[in-house]
Amino acid sequence: MAPMSEPAFERLDPGQAAGAPLYRLAKQALLAAIESGRCPPGRALPNETALAAALGISIGTLRHAVDELVAERILLRRQGRGTFVATHTTDRFVFQFFHVERSDGRREAPQVELLSFERGRLDEEAADALGLRAGEPVILVENRLALQGRPVVYDRLTLPAALFRGLTEKRLRERPSTIYHLYQTGFGITVVRAHERVRAVGADRTAARILGVVPGTPVLQVRRTALALNDKPVEYRVSTLWTAQHDYVSTLSPAT
C-alpha cells in the first residue's frame, strides 16, 4: 500500500554519491526538502533526534549538516524552540540584501514605490547574467526607494517569466513584505546569495529624473545577480544609487 503522503525525509542512501560524506548527503536532503516545498520557509524541522533517526544517521552527523545550513542562513536554530527554515522577513535577512546606509552609519528600511511593471524580452546583458538566451520572455519591474523621504535608489529588475508565472502588478504592489519574501512565498524561490558589481557613472536622463538630480551627477550603478537555493540565477537587477547622503556598505568578511 502506498503511504497517504510522502514523508518529508527518508533514510539516506550512502551509495548515491560515491565518496561524498554523509553529512553532505544530509545537507542535500534538507535542501531538497526545502526546495520541493515539503519544508516550507518558516516551518520547524523535526527535532534533531527524530530527524537523525529518519535519515538513518547519528545526531552528530546531522548537526554537522545543519551547522552549514545555519552558517548560510538557510536554516535558523533557536535553543529550546527548534530549527526553522529561514524566511525573508527577518531583519537580518532583509539587510543581507540591502546595503544602503545613511552616511552617519544608521540603517533605515526604505520606502518602496513601484514605478512600472511590464513584460518584455531578455536583453543581452541580463541574459548573460541570468545564464539564459536573449529574447526569452521576462518581467521588467522598476522601483524607486526613498530614505528619509528622499529618493535614493532606482532599481530595474529583470525576472525570467518562466520562474514567476502568475506574477501580476497587483500581487507585486500588494505584497505585505519585501520583494524577496514574495519570491519565496509566492513562487517558491528563496534568494540566498547574490553577486554585485559596482561602478560609478554619470546619471543618465532617466535616472536623474527619477532620483531628482542633475543629469551627469556621479551615481553608483550596482548590477546584481541573485541566486536561489539551487545556485541558479533568478533575478538580474540594476540599481542606481544617489550617494550624496548615503553609502553602499560592504563587509570584507571571510566568507567572500
- Which residues 220-239 are close enough to bind a copy of itself by CB under 8 A? 220, 224
**Least Cβ distance, residue 47 to DNA (angstroms):** 3
Residue 255 touching a copy of itself (CB under 8 A):
yes
Q: Which of 60, 131, 135, 137 binds DNA (CB under 7 A)?
A: 60
104 Cα distance to chain centroid: 27
Among 10, 16, 21, 173, the residue binding DNA under the rule CB under 7 A is 21
Residue 2: all three cell numbers together: 502506498
Query: Which of a copy of itself, DNA, none is residue 248 near (CB under 5 to 8 Å by kind)?
Result: a copy of itself
Cβ neighbours for 141, distance < 8 A, ≥ 6 positions apart: 114, 116, 117, 155, 156, 157, 159, 172
Calpha distance 169→227 (Å, rounded) = 23
Query: At 158, phi and psi to the nearest 5?
Result: -120, 120
Q: Which of 81, 92, 165, 205 binds DNA (CB under 7 A)?
A: 81
How many other β-carbons are positioned within 10 Å of the β-carbon of residue 178? 19
Distance separating alpha carbons of residues 155 and 146, to the nearest angstrom: 11
Stretch touching a copy of itself by CB under 8 A, among 37-45, 117-125, 134-142, 218-226: 218-226
Q: Candidates 3-11, 41-49, 147-155, 190-198: pick the segment binding a copy of itself (CB under 8 A).
A: 190-198
**Contact flag: residue 192 with a copy of itself (CB under 8 A):** yes
C-alpha 185/C-alpha 178 separation (Å) is: 11
Binding-site ranges for a copy of itself (CB under 8 A):
71-73, 96-97, 99, 101, 103, 192-202, 218-220, 224, 241, 243-244, 246-256
